[in-house]
């Protein structure tokens, strides 16, 4: 080894993004990561992966599953570590240096993968194996992995001619840059705005827990003695629920929905126009009539027609319920002697009053019983009762922020299954929303590798010495993301490609949405909904009211979600529209076409619709939450039919055919194995209180 090579090797070992993760449980050394590590780490990781893939593609031996598919699955380990670590930091604890490198990295990553996925020799080996798959001796899992590789390469353009590949690669690179810019624009708008409340008049109507969170938010911004409402959902929505100051409700609401739509440097409208046009071109290059057709071809839904049929099946009853609620809310306005027409910034305020009248319950009386710590315990308890998992807090494990907690996860036999990281509180260095990700996926190909699983939330942190209290929606969000985490923790497959949440998108939300059901059961609430001061359980009358309120305001909830899903679908059914695409005009025309009530806003307006434009994860596929809800409503009924929400037999099937299976089989086959049949939307409509026979 030359001296220069030795120096390079030492530098690689010193770079925490390149070195083997040697912390407890194989966790990366977060405390050692500096901005200077990013560029050299990715340069080396890209080069190492490219060399590994070139060796596979250039192998003189005839292709076999072992020397092609196994080899591809085992390649790129260093790059995967660097990507997973960097993107966790970029989402959960970013800074100017990370943001700058994120913009640089996006096109580099797109170019790297295009070179691999469009490699003619490599695809020739995969295609040859795929064509002779019936003659190969493969396990069911290996056959599935081979099929998914063929789909992946074909959908990436591996079978196209050279000029078309070149153009497709240019499109992909540009889309990667635009998606990163879109996301950073939204983050910049969120970081730059806060509604400062100064004095008791500005705080009118706000309960103690909202005031405490607003005081903490102000202190974090150097505004000691004041209160601040940020445009994080967990801050905005409670303010809209309780503030009696209609002028301030309007002010924060308008700022909230205007993210990415300010007309300045962070405006996303031109980015949307270009992304929609490029996606349409990408689909056309790959032989599809629209991006929606391309995107949905590799989902359970398969076609835009199937998606539209489901969305419209739910839209009509959802809108009817919303309009009836609108009239009831307007009547409350008039009963107070006021003569204004209900506006979107009034809906949550008057809905809270209506819920109290109809269900004899309000958020302010429930929230003291929903302590963050207890809801975390409730999620762990449910996972233990269903799957035998235990969670033991581990200190001394490296983390990216002091707020992050770590638990070791073990199965019923006491075997280590992985680590679970919880990052629960909002901060200016974190993107808004809630998500699950991994730093390492489960697999057995390269050894018995256990996952490192992360949940990221944005709850408003309580003041020093006070417990963080959650709304019921916050608690459901925690259960939702923990359901995703269980999907990764319980994964029991050999190949990384099909491990954990690496499944078809409209199947991926089933484990998360299904897990929410347990939170809404008396068996869980009796045990964990305890008052933060007295320790007393939620009183029976309030528990009954809370459960009765599950379908309250479902018209508005359904309409705000479906409007976003329908606009996402219709936007991506368009042919290439060019840079002149007017997203504002399109949004207004589409909302008018579907009859969107003026008093309700979309859950995600296009200019901050990160599911769809911060990358392509849910582009043309935001419907998938509803698709999965059809499944989860029916899946939970399997437990209800036994009379035991922890029935061991149903739980075992759920473990084997949903949570542990990853993408090892087609989702239709997995669900049929679990339930014996496929569901209809009837259970979803009943759950939302939208069916004619719903209580």
Task: Please state the rounded mean pLDDT for residues 400-421.
Answer: 98
Q: Which of residues 175 and 547 earns the better pLDDT score? A: 175
Tell me which H or E stretch contains 439. strand 435-440
553-566: pLDDT as tens digits? 999 999 999 999 99
Task: Please state the rounded mean pLDDT for residues 368-377.
Answer: 97
**Predicted confidence band of residue 695 (pLDDT cuts 50, 70, 90):** very low
429-473: pLDDT as tens digits? 999 999 999 999 999 999 999 999 999 999 999 988 899 999 999
Alpha-carbon distance 254 to 257, whole Å? 5
Alpha-carbon distance 350 to 470, whole Å? 20
Q: Which pLDDT score, from 0 to 100, does residue 607 have?
A: 97
Inform me whether the pLDDT recorded for 23 exceeds 90.
Answer: no
Q: Which pLDDT score, from 0 to 100, does residue 575 have?
A: 67
241-299: pLDDT as tens digits? 999 999 999 999 999 999 999 999 999 999 999 999 999 999 999 999 999 999 999 99
Beta strands in 130-271 (DSSP E): 194-197, 227-230
How many CA atoms within 13 Å lie on the side-chain side of 529? Answer: 25
Q: Are residues 114 and 156 in contact, defined by beta-carbon separation less than 8 angstroms?
A: yes
**Predicted confidence band of residue 425 (pLDDT cuts 50, 70, 90):** very high
Phi-psi region of 93 (alpha: psi -120 to 50; beta: other; left: phi over 0): beta
Please choose, from the candidates 350, 35, 642, 280, the residue with its C-alpha nearest in 3D space to the C-alpha of residue 651: 642
Inform me whether the pLDDT recorded for 580 exceeds 80.
Answer: no
- Count of beta carbons in the 10 Å neighbourhood of residue 89: 19
Least confident of 35-39, 150-154, 614-618: 614-618
Inform me whether the pLDDT recorded for 207 exceeds 60.
Answer: yes
List Cβ neighbours of 317 (8 Å cut-off, separation of 6 or more). Answer: 685, 690, 691
Inform me whether the pLDDT recorded for 237 exceeds 50.
Answer: yes
Q: Which pLDDT score, from 0 to 100, does residue 7 have?
A: 43
Inform me whether the pLDDT recorded for 364 exceeds 90.
Answer: no
Alpha-carbon distance 439 to 27, whole Å? 8
102-134: pLDDT as tens digits? 999 999 999 999 999 999 999 999 999 999 999
Alpha-carbon distance 89 to 85, whole Å? 6
Alpha-carbon distance 26 to 164, whole Å? 43
What class is the 274-343+564-695 domain? mainly alpha
Q: Which of residues 683 and 165 earns the better pLDDT score? A: 165
The DSSP-derived string for 529-573 is -B-TTT-PBPPHHHHHHHHHGGGTTHHHHHHHHHHHHHHHHHHTT
Q: Which pLDDT score, from 0 to 100, does residue 1 have?
A: 42
Q: Are residues 579 and 277 in contact, defined by beta-carbon separation less than 8 angstroms?
A: yes
The catalytic site residues sit at 481
**Predicted confidence band of residue 12 (pLDDT cuts 50, 70, 90):** low
Task: Please state the rounded mean pLDDT for residues 664-670.
Answer: 97
Phi-psi region of 521 (alpha: psi -120 to 50; beta: other; left: phi over 0): beta
Task: Write the CA distances from 563 to 344, 610, 633, 690, integer angstroms.
Answer: 15, 15, 21, 17
DSSP-based three-state secondary structure for 286 = coil
Question: Which of 1.10.1370.40, 3.30.413.10, 3.10.20.70, 1.20.58.480 is the CATH number of 368-497+509-552?
Answer: 1.10.1370.40
Task: Please state the rounded mean pLDDT for residues 636-651.
Answer: 98
Q: Which pLDDT score, from 0 to 100, does residue 630 have?
A: 96
Q: Which pLDDT score, from 0 to 100, does residue 576 have?
A: 54
Say which CATH architecture domain 10-117+119-159 belongs to.
Answer: Orthogonal Bundle (1.10)
Q: Which pLDDT score, from 0 to 100, does residue 380 have?
A: 98
List Cβ neighbours of 156 (8 Å cut-off, separation of 6 or more). Answer: 113, 114, 117, 118
Q: Which pLDDT score, from 0 to 100, does residue 4 have?
A: 46
Structure tokens at 539: 């009183």
Q: Which pLDDT score, from 0 to 100, does residue 3 have?
A: 47
Mean pLDDT estimate for the chain: 94
304-323: pLDDT as tens digits? 999 999 999 999 999 999 99
- How many residues make up the chain in this entry? 695
> Does 274-343+564-695 match 368-497+509-552 in CATH topology?
yes
The pTM of the full predicted model, rounded to 2 decimals, is 0.94
Domain spans, the chain:
10-117+119-159, 193-257, 274-343+564-695, 368-497+509-552
Alpha-carbon distance 345 to 333, whole Å? 13
């Amino acid at each position: 080894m030359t001296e220069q090579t030795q120096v390079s090797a030492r530098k690689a070992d010193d770079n925490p993004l390149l070195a083997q993760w040697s912390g407890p449980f194989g966790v990366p050394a977060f405390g050692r990561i500096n901005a200077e590590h990013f560029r050299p780490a990715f340069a080396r990781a890209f080069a190492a992966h490219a060399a590994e893939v070139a060796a596979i593609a250039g192998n003189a031996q005839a292709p076999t599953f072992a020397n092609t598919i196994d080899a591809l699955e085992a390649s790129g380990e260093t790059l995967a570590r660097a990507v997973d670590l960097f993107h966790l930091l970029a989402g959960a604890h970013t800074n100017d240096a990370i943001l700058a490198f994120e913009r640089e990295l996006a096109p580099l990553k797109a170019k790297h993968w295009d070179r691999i996925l469009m490699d003619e020799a490599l695809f020739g080996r995969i295609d040859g194996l795929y064509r002779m798959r019936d003659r190969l001796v493969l396990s069911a899992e290996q056959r599935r992995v081979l099929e998914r590789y063929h789909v992946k390469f074909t959908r990436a353009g591996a079978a196209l001619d050279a000029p078309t590949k070149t153009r497709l690669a240019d499109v992909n690179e540009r889309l990667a840059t635009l998606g990163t810019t879109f996301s950073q624009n939204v983050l910049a708008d969120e970081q730059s705005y806060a509604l400062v409340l100064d004095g008791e008049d500005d705080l009118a109507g706000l309960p103690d827990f909202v005031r405490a969170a607003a005081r903490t938010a102000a202190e974090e911004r150097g505004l000691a003695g004041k209160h601040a409402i940020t445009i994080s959902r967990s801050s905005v929505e409670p303010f809209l629920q309780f503030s009696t100051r209609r002028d301030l409700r309007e002010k924060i609401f308008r700022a909230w929905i205007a993210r990415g739509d300010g007309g300045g440097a962070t405006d996303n409208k031109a980015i949307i126009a270009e992304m929609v046009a490029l996606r349409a071109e990408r689909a056309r290059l790959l032989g599809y009539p629209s991006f929606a057709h391309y995107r949905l071809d590799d989902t359970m839904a398969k076609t835009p027609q199937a998606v539209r049929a489901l969305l419209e099946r739910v839209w009509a009853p959802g809108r009817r319920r919303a309009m009836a609620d609108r009239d009831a809310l307007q009547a409350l306005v008039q009963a107070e002697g006021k003569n204004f027409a209900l506006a979107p910034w009034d809906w949550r305020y008057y809905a809270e009053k209506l819920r109290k009248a109809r269900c004899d319950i309000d958020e302010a009386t429930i929230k003291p019983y929903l302590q963050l710590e207890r809801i975390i315990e409730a999620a762990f308890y449910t996972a233990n009762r269903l799957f035998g998992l235990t969670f033991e807090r581990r200190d001394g494990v490296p983390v990216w922020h002091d707020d992050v907690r770590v638990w070791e996860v073990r199965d019923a036999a006491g075997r280590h299954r992985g680590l679970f990281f919880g990052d629960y509180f909002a901060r200016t260095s974190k993107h808004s929303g809630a998500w699950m990700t991994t730093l390492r996926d489960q697999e057995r190909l390269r050894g018995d590798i256990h996952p490192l699983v992360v949940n990221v939330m944005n709850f408003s942190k309580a003041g020093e010495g006070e417990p963080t209290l959650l709304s019921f929606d916050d608690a459901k969000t925690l259960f939702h993301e923990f359901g995703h985490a269980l999907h990764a923790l319980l994964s029991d497959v050999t190949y990384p490609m099909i491990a954990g949440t690496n499944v078809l998108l409209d199947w991926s939300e089933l484990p998360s949405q299904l897990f929410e059901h347990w939170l809404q059961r008396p068996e869980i609430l009796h045990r964990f909904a305890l008052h933060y001061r007295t320790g007393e359980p939620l009183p029976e009358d309030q528990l009954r009211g809370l459960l009765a309120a599950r379908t309250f305001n479902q018209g508005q909830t359904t309409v705000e979600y479906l409007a976003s899903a329908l606009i996402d679908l219709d936007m991506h059914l368009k042919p290439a529209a060019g840079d002149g695409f007017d997203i504002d005009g399109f949004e207004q025309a589409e909302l008018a076409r579907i009859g969107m009530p003026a008093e309700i806003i979309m859950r995600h307006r296009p200019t901050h619709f990160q599911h769809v434009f911060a990358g392509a994860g849910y582009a043309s596929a935001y419907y998938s939450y509803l698709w999965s809800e059809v499944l989860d409503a029916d899946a939970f009924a399997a437990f209800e039919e036994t009379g035991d929400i922890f029935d061991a037999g149903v739980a075992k099937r759920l473990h084997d055919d949903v949570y542990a299976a990853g993408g090892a089989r087609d989702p239709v086959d997995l669900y049929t194995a679990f339930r014996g049949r496929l569901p209809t939307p009837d259970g979803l409509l009943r759950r939302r209180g939208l069916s004619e026979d719903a209580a």
